[in-house]
Amino acid sequence: MRKRAALLCGSLVTSVALLSGCVFQGEQSLKEMDQPQQENTEGEVAVSEESVNAGQTDNTEVIKVETVARQLYLLDENGMVVPQTLPLPKPETNDVAKQVLEYLVKGGPVTDFLPSGFQAVLPSGTEVNGLDLLEDGTLVVDVSKEFIEYRPEDELKILQSMTYTLTQFENVDRIKLQINGYDAEVMPVNNTPLSSGYSRANGINLETGDVADISNSRSVTVYYPAQHDDQFYYVPVTKRVEGAAESEYETIIQTLVNGPGYKGDLLNVFNEGVQLTEEPTVKDGILTLTFNENVLSNFEDQSIISKKVMDSLVLSLTEDEKVEAVSVKVKDFEELYDEEGNAFTKPVTRPEMVNTGRF
């Protein structure tokens, strides 16, 4: 699984006005835990004296708030676990892992940051008692007794949210759980096993599909678009699929083309009949794909590939550590463009963080 990130610069969301935002890249710089690549930023927030003295707007105080981009795995309105990149206040200490966990708690500090249609996942009142990072990459998370107050159907969502949020830090590979200092061998409600830890290898938004023989199948994680109001975002789904390991890229592409299946709130953005016309190749981290013309959008200019198709391909295929970028070609077409008329002159790389509003 990828653990990349990009830094979104934005100011703190409070009752005052948000003035600016930007995207940067930076270096890792924590003693206790490696962070996603980032750069500290300052957002200027204007506070007018009008809030104190009505009618007096002469004086404005500018407060600079340092924020850091973090990827939080939240629940969308359909109950799917989805990454959302948010600008969180820079913590005063190096407890960055504790901070992101606290921002997963319902009714906690994330409340003012939640995108429309999203909610936190950890039970209200849950406190993070402590964290212990072991040499093998296991992060032991000690939570308070309020953690156990969740519905059975939310158990895997809670585990997936915690695991994917914490493994954005490069030296965290899996998590284990303690409740008030006592090791939890299983989750407290539905008894999901935890003795070996929980990692991204366990998957997210799991779907077994129609695979008849689980023993002769494998898991792939693909990204489907979803929509809330006029906002599109991408949802990772781990599916069991049949197919030999050497046909991994073909299998991922066919899984995308087949669509999200029973998860009807996700969108299938591929036309029928999309096929590869040549075997995929990987060289120097670039995966080259050659499709038939069915991959193109149904516009008058048939050299257009939709952004959602390209995004789904890039996010899904770069889950493979060997793939740094994806080059898409179409048989008998010299050049390809997006909907805005921009030519795809270079392979498309994966964003370091997903669902930032900037791909």
User: How far is Cα of residue 293 from the mean position of the Cα atoms in its chain?
Assistant: 30
Together in a domain, 32 and 173:
yes
Among 143, 169, 202, which residue terminates a domain?
202
For residue 359, being part of any structural domain is answered with no
Together in a domain, 303 and 191:
no
Task: Find the angle CA(218)-CA(289)-CA(295) to the nearest 5 degrees.
Answer: 95
323-355 residues labelled b (16+ CB within 10 A) or e (exposed):
bbbbebbbeeeeebbbeeeeebeebbebbbbbb
For residue 188, being part of any structural domain is answered with yes
**Neighbour tally for 357: CB within 10 Å:** 14
Together in a domain, 325 and 288:
yes
Structure tokens at 259: 């669509």
Q: Which residue has the tokens 């693909």?
A: 222
Among 182, 202, 222, which residue terminates a domain?
202
Domain ranges, residue 81: 7-202
For residue 142, being part of any structural domain is answered with yes
For residue 276, being part of any structural domain is answered with yes
Question: Three-class SS string for 299-333?
Answer: CCCCCECCHHHHHHHHHHHCCCCCCCEEEEEECCC
Together in a domain, 19 and 149:
yes
Together in a domain, 235 and 289:
yes
Strand partners, 74: 82
Q: What is the pLDDT of residue 330?
A: 94
Q: What are phi and psi of 204, to 5 degrees?
A: -150, 140
Alpha-carbon distance 35 to 349, whole Å?
Answer: 21
- Give the CA radius of gyration of the chain: 22
Together in a domain, 135 and 250:
no
Contacts of residue 327, defined as CB under 8 A and 6 or more positions apart, other chains included, come to 286, 287, 288, 289, 347, 348
Q: What is the pLDDT of residue 62?
A: 67
Alpha-carbon distance 154 to 126, whole Å?
Answer: 15
Cα–Cα distances in angstroms (integers) from residue 257 to residues 263, 271, 273, 303, 309, in the given order:
14, 7, 8, 19, 10
Together in a domain, 149 and 189:
yes
Strand partners, 286: 283, 325
Together in a domain, 19 and 80:
yes
For residue 14, being part of any structural domain is answered with yes
Together in a domain, 269 and 316:
yes
How would you classify the pairing of strands 286-291 and 325-330? parallel
Together in a domain, 242 and 274:
yes
Question: Is the separation of the CB atoms in 306 and 269 below 8 Å?
Answer: yes
Together in a domain, 241 and 315:
yes
State the total domains in the chain.
Answer: 2
For residue 304, being part of any structural domain is answered with yes
For residue 207, being part of any structural domain is answered with no
Alpha-carbon distance 350 to 354, whole Å?
Answer: 9
Q: What is the pLDDT of residue 300?
A: 61
For residue 263, being part of any structural domain is answered with yes
pLDDT one digit per residue (tens) for the chain, 359 residues: 554 332 223 333 333 333 233 332 333 333 345 555 454 554 444 333 343 444 445 566 666 779 999 999 999 999 999 999 999 999 877 789 999 999 999 999 999 889 999 999 999 999 999 999 999 999 999 999 999 999 999 999 999 999 999 999 999 999 999 999 999 999 999 999 999 999 999 999 998 766 656 667 789 999 999 999 888 999 999 998 876 666 889 999 999 999 998 666 899 999 999 999 999 999 999 999 999 999 999 756 679 999 999 999 999 999 999 999 999 999 889 999 999 999 999 999 998 889 985 44
Selection from 56, 50, 64, 34 nearest residue 137 by Cα: 34
Alpha-carbon distance 326 to 203, whole Å?
Answer: 23
Together in a domain, 190 and 219:
no
